[in-house]
Amino acid sequence: MSMEAELIRSLIRRPATLLYPFKRRPLIEGLRGKHTWDSERCIGCGLCARDCPAFAIEMIGTGPTAELKVDLGECIFCGQCEEGCPREAIKLTEFYELADPKRKNLILEFKRESV
């Protein structure tokens, strides 16, 4: 008999769920989402590709001309690339809506502008 008060309270409360995608909850700071890459900072050491547990990162070339390919379909968003990067060149942003019907569109190709 201890649940009646709770039931009545719940009747007048708003629903616990949000009407997504019409309403979105505010972005949480530090959420692990889509990658960004700063070509100026990257020295092409390849630590991100070497440590990636899902083998989602491919480094094309080596050294200062190296470019980066990230497969979001493979990525498990653990943030090891961000953690291991000695120059803070690769970072995860808060953007999380990444669904796409084509796998091809999930591959992020980061190019250097001046090369």
Partner 1 sequence: MPSTIKIPFGPQHPALKEPESFLFEVDGEYVVDVVPRIGYAHRGIEKALESRTYIQNLYLIERICGICSHAHTTCYTQAVEEALKVDVPSRARYIRTIVAELERIHNHYLWLGLLAHEIGFDTLFMYTWRDREIVMDLLERISGNRVQYAMNIIGGVRRDITPEVSSEITKGIEVLSERMKYYKKVCSDEKTMLARTTNVGVLKAKDAVSLCAVGPTLRASSVKRDVRADDPYAAYDEIPFQVVTNDGCDLASRVATRCDEVVESVGIIQYALDHMPKGSIEVIVSRVIPSDEVVSRVEAPRGENLHYLRSNETDKPARYKIRAPTLANLSALCKMLIGGYIADIPAVIAGIDPCFCCMDRLTFIDVNSDKTWNWKCDELRRHAIKWHKEQ
Site residues, partner 1 (CB under 8 A): 1-3, 6-7, 10, 16, 28-32, 51-54, 76-80, 83-84, 92
Give the shortest CB-75-to-partner 1 separation in angstroms.
11
Give the shortest CB-11-to-partner 1 separation in angstroms.
12
Q: Quick count: other Cβ atoms within 10 Å of Cβ 13? A: 8
Q: Which is nearer to partner 1, 73 or 84 (CB)?
A: 84
Q: What's the rounded Cα separation, in Å, for the pair 20 and 92?
A: 23
Q: Which is nearer to partner 1, 5 or 101 (CB)?
A: 5
Q: Which is nearer to partner 1, 77 or 112 (CB)?
A: 77
Give the shortest CB-112-to-partner 1 separation in angstroms.
27
Q: Which is nearer to partner 1, 3 or 99 (CB)?
A: 3
Closest CA to 89 of 32, 35, 50, 16: 35
- Catalogue the E-assigned strands of 1-115: 35-37, 57-60, 67-71, 90-92, 107-110
